[in-house]
Structure formats: C-alpha cells, structure tokens
Chain A
Amino acid sequence: MTTATLPRTSRLTFGGILKSEFIKLFTLRSTFWCILIVVVLSVGIGLIIATVNPPARAGVPAAGPLTVAAQQADAVSYATAGSQIGELVLAVLGALVITGEYGTSMIRSTLAAVPKRLPALIAKALVLAITAFVVGVVSIFGTAAIIFPLLPGTKKIHPDWTDWHVLESLMGGALYLVLVALIAFCIGAIIRNSAGGIAAALGLILVLPGLVGLIGGLTQITWIENIANFLPSAVGGNLSHYTGTKTQVVSGIISLDRLDSGLVLLAWFVVLFVVAAVLLKRRDA
C-alpha cells in the first residue's frame, strides 16, 4: 500500500475553487442539454418569425412602409424572441447548479473543501454568469447574424449593424439571460431543493407578472401596477427593447429605460444573493 506524500505547495485558492466549479458545471450532461436547447430555441424561433409572413386578412389594410427606427426595433425583437423562452431553460440551469448539489449531498463535499463557504457560492455564481453570458451572446448575436440577411427579402426590413442601439439591445438581451440565471441560482441556494427551486424561479419569472398584472389591471391601483413594472421579466424585457423611452412617470405609472431596468434587475440579484449568502453561512449543510 502506498500513500505517496504530496508536495505541500498546493493549497486552497479562489482560482482553484473557480476551476473546480467550471469542471463541475461542464461534467454534467444537463448543462449541455440546457445550452443546446437555448441556442436551438433562439435560432429556431428567430428563423420562423423572420421567414413566415402571416397571410393578409380581408378588410385589414396592409401596413405602410416602416420607419428606419421601427425596422430596427422589429429586427431586434425577432433576434431576441427565442431567448424569451430560452431564459426559462437558463433559469432551470441556474437553479440546478446549486440544488443538484443539495439533492445529491455533493454540497457536503464542496463545503468540506471550502469551509468558509462564501468563496464556493461566489465561484459558482461567477462560473454560471460567464457561461450564461457566452450562451446569451452566441445565441442572440448568432440568431441576428442568421436572420438579419433574410429580413430585407421576407419583411422589407433593413437591419443596420452599424446602429449602436441595435447592438445595445442585443447585448441587453444577453445580459438579461445572465441575470435570470443568477436570480434562479440564488433562489435555488435559498430553497436547496431542485423541484422547489425551479418552481419558485419560474413562478417569479413566468407566473407572477401575469398575476400582478391581472390584479393591477382589475383594481387600477397604481402601486400594484408599478410592482408589475419592477418584476424581473418586465425590466428584463426593457433591456432588449430598441425603442426604449427615458425613465418617466406618467399619471403615477413608472416606466424604466434600459439602464434603469438593468439596475433594477441587478438589485433583484444582489438582494437575493445576500440572502442566499447569509443562509449558506448560517445553516447546517
């Protein structure tokens, strides 16, 4: 039997933890499935919207030619349409990154190696963010690169790659995917259960906006309608809107521009991350 002794030059470092989390993320099949689905959804839905023209309805006058700005807005919305479903898949991935460890007790191995705990949580979030960013940029800019050349023929739309706002909107769409994944990750870290974490994350992104919107619409109570405008999916949508207005309040209803929407979304993440971090420190693993 041999227990060859190691040179004790190796020690726990944040770089090492980061590398470890990269290895963990990319040695699971679910990661590759999620990434593949996001890319396929983005390109597929983009292609369908860009190439299929609904037949003209009798009695509905044909729309006139679009302004240049309206053409860019449409082009951007086609390129980001698929990622609005892809975001749900990234939310699932984000939650699984941490709940998968609780479900399998892997978290005990992780925290035994990183007993201060917080570096492990930060490394996980960072690895997820980088991955989601690359996936977001590839899928959204890739979709744009595929469908923009088709649009002049199919929709009489002439996308303008040199328009800074087009690039900004596409980048906004990619950043939204990053923050959705991170928010789901925090919820997963708080709930520590895959089914619960995914349900809560999707509830926040998918169900809550409809619910709050419905109540707001029925009651016409201003603050309830404003809550709807601050939910992650609402501010996330603003991130990739080409024709964003300046932040303004019209008869009590707040609407946010791209930058403010990004800050609100960031705030969602920061608050949830702090809660997750405090709980991780305090709870038994």
Chain B
Amino acid sequence: MIEAIGLTKRYGQKTAVDGINFQVQPGRVTGFLGPNGAGKSTTMRMIVGLDRPTSGTVTLNGKQYADLKAPLHEVGVLLDAKAVHTGRSAYNHLRAMAATHGIGSKRVDEVIALTGLESVARKRVGGFSLGMGQRLGMASALLGDPSILILDEPVNGLDPEGVIWVRTLARHMAAQGRTVFLSSHLMSEMAQTADQIIVLGRGRVIADAPVADIIALAAGNAVRVRTPDADRFAKELAGTDVTVSVTEPDLIVVNGLAAARIGELAASSRVVLHELTPLAGSLEDAYLALTEDDVEYHASDIEDTK
C-alpha cells in the first residue's frame, strides 16, 4: 500500500503538489490521472525519495522509501523512460541495476524476454526509440519482482500491442495482490486499466473514487431523441430538473430523464420516435468536467491570445 499524508512540494513560489492525501491499495490497479503539470510526476518522484517533500509524508507498506532494505524487490518504478545512460546497452544497464541487489543474470534475461527486448538488448540505449526506451524502463521496474509497481505514463510511445501488454501486465500484477499505481493523461486508457482513479489537478486531489463512480460524475446522463414532433415534445418534456435542447429540427437532447421514462411520455403524448439513445458519460467527459478549472493551459487561451 502507498499512503500519502499532507504531501506537499513547492519549488520557490510555485506549489506543484498541495497537501494531498491518498491511499493506493494492493490488489487493484489505481490510476493517477491529471493534465500536464498537475503534479503527477512530482508526486511519484516523492514516493520513491527522489524529490524531498516540502512537508508531509508518503510511505510504502508503512515505511519511507529510503528505509527499505531491498528497494528494488519492494518497489518497481518507471519514472521516465530514458533514465538510462545512453552510452550503455540495455543488457548492461539491467545487469548494473541488478548487481546492487545481488539479482542474478537469469532474472535479467527473464525481464528482457518479458518486455520483448531480446533483439536490441546488446545495443546502446542512445539509439532506442521512445517505445523501446519505455520497454527498457518496464524491464528495470520488473527486475526485482516488486510487490509495488509505480509507473509514470507507461504507455507513452508504445505501439498498440505494447499498450495492451502494459494493460494486461498491470491487471495481472494487481490480480496477484500487488499494488499497481500508474499515471496517465489518457482518460480512455485509464477506463480500461484502472479499478480506482485518483484525479489530480493543480497539485490537489479532485477525485478519488472507483472508475464507475468517476464516469457517473460526467455531467448528467443525456438522452438523444429524434422525432418529427421535436418542438412539441420538447415543450412537454421541459420541467424542473429537466433540460431539453433542440439541436436540429428533428433532434433533441434531454438531460435529467431516463430513456425509459422518455419513451413512456412519448407513448402517452402520441409522439412518434425515430430514435431514443441514452448517451453514456465517458471517462473523458468526466475528466474534462472535473479538471476544467484545474488545467494550466486552456485551449481557449489560444483563442484569447490572438
């Protein structure tokens, strides 16, 4: 388990992480979601002791990272794909990392095979593509067969096959009872991988809930209704807690009523329906709704600065 209490990081005047509290439980995949600059990477660096918190603490299974007896066995971490000397081969990098903990070359070969690096393992890392670098980062993280896995943007630069591989691996590790904590700014990726999601915006936790709950947060559950009597039906549906918008002459979008209820109302009002579609909120919508006020760079700002 990872537990952060009042975790804060300030760089001069700028507060990157602002007194956040969260727990990452074992046995499931916890997603760490937020726009660029939200403080995800800073938080992850603080977890593994690379950045010193300005205040607050973060512990792994009750201990600070620096106090772990065998850090690589307890925590596997992918912070950025290219935290590797570019002049060294992937194999030698892993061998050097393994040596610190007395991990044998058999395990080095294992993680190379596991991450599909066999063909490039003897080549210098400087020539690696982003995807290959990412695979090497994953191999490093898995080297000690850790009980906690912390992955910062693991699918960045991976091909679709690699993305599925990371997803499967994360789920598999969680199923074994390990703690899996991975960050992403890709909402769709999180929807498919994570059980629990912590949303970070401007250094604060804005949501910490199961994936389904986060999706439900997507503003309202809208229903699309297509009917030749659009104007008349819209007037009949409108009421308190129900908003109706006519988007095309024969199309209305209803918020605040279930699709079944709309169908019943149509029948009783003798309105012909050509379409009745519940629009499920996507994680993407939820995420945008949640972080609307918390992103540092708004798309609309680009318009404003013209």
Please give the residue numbers on chain A whose beta carbons come within 8 Å of chain B beta carbons, in ascending order.
1-6, 8-13, 16-17, 19-21, 23-24, 27-30, 100-101, 104-109, 111-116, 282, 284-285
Task: Select A20's contact among B96, B104, B172, beta carbons within 8 Å.
Answer: B96
Closest 10 A-B residue pairs measured CB to CB? Answer: A20-B99, A27-B92, A11-B70, A10-B102, A115-B66, A106-B85, A23-B96, A108-B83, A105-B83, A284-B51
Given contacts A24-B88, A27-B88, A108-B50, whether A115 and B71 have CB atoms under 8 Å apart is yes
Q: How large is the interface on B (under 10, 10 to 19, 20 to 34, 35 or more residues)?
A: 35 or more
Residues of the B chain whose Cβ atoms lie less than 8 Å from the Cβ of A23 = 92, 95-96, 99
Task: Say which residue of B50, B83, B110 sits within 8 Å of A4 (CB atoms).
Answer: B110
B45 CB–A CB distance under 8 Å? yes
Known pairs A6-B73, A106-B83; A113 contacts B97 (CB<8 A): yes
Interface positions, chain B 185-241, Cβ under 8 Å from A, are: none
The 25 listed contacts between A and B (C-beta, < 8 Å) are A6-B145, A8-B73, A9-B102, A11-B73, A11-B102, A12-B69, A16-B99, A19-B99, A23-B96, A27-B92, A30-B87, A101-B85, A104-B82, A104-B85, A107-B83, A108-B45, A109-B93, A109-B97, A111-B49, A112-B48, A115-B48, A115-B65, A282-B52, A284-B50, A285-B45
Whether a CB of chain A sits under 8 angstroms from the CB of B80 is: yes
User: Would you call B72 an interface residue if the criterion is a C-beta within 8 Å of the partner chain's C-beta atoms?
Assistant: yes
Contact of A3 with B114 in the complex, beta carbons under 8 Å: yes
B40-64 near A? 1/0 per residue, CB < 8 Å: 0000010011111000000000000
A285: chain B residues within 8 A (beta carbon) = 45, 50-51
A100 and B87 contact, Cβ closer than 8 Å, known pairs A3-B172, A23-B92:
yes
The answer on a CB contact under 8 Å between B70 and A112 is no
Chain A residues with Cβ under 8 A from B117's Cβ? none
Provide the residues of chain A in CB contact with B140, threshold 8 Å: 109
Shortest Cβ gap from B64 to chain A (Å): 9
B151 to chain A minimum Cβ distance, whole angstroms, is 13
Within the assembled complex, what's the spacing in Å between the Cα atoms of A114 and B68?
A: 10
Residue in chain A with minimal CB distance to B102: A10
Q: Give the chain B neighbours of A105 by CB distance below 8 A.
A: 80, 82-84
Q: Is B254 an interface residue (CB 8 A)?
A: no
Output the least CB separation between B62 and chain A (Å). 16
Which of the residues B66, B72, B97, B103 comes within 8 Å of A116, measured between beta carbons?
Answer: B66
| Given A12-B69, A16-B99, 9 extra CB contacts under 8 A | A17-B100, A19-B100, A23-B95, A27-B96, A29-B87, A104-B83, A105-B83, A106-B85, A113-B71
For B69, what are the chain A residues with a Cβ–Cβ distance below 8 Å? 11-12
- A101, B142: Cα distance in complex, Å: 21
Give A29 to B86 CA distance when docked, in angstroms: 11
Which residue of chain A has its CB nearest to the CB of B64? Answer: A115
Whether the Cβ atoms of A109 and B83 lie closer than 8 Å is yes
B96 and chain A: residue at smallest CB distance: A23
CA distance A4 to B73 in the complex (A): 13
Whether the Cβ atoms of A109 and B84 lie closer than 8 Å is yes
Inter-subunit contact A12/B83 (CB<8 Å): no
Closest A residue by C-beta to B149:
A3
**Which residues of B lie under 8 Å from residue A1 when comparing CB positions?**
114, 168-169, 172
Residues of B within 8 A of A27 (CB): 88-89, 92, 95-96
Say yes or no: A16 contacts B96, CB within 8 Å: no
Which residue of the partner chain, among B73, B79, B88, B107, contacts A108 with CB atoms under 8 Å? B79
User: Contact check: which of A20, A100, A104 meets B100 at CB < 8 Å?
Assistant: A20
Asked whether B173 is an interface residue with its Cβ less than 8 Å from the other chain, the reply is yes
Residues of A within 8 A of B45 (CB): 108, 284-285
Residues of B within 8 A of A115 (CB): 48-49, 65-66, 68, 71
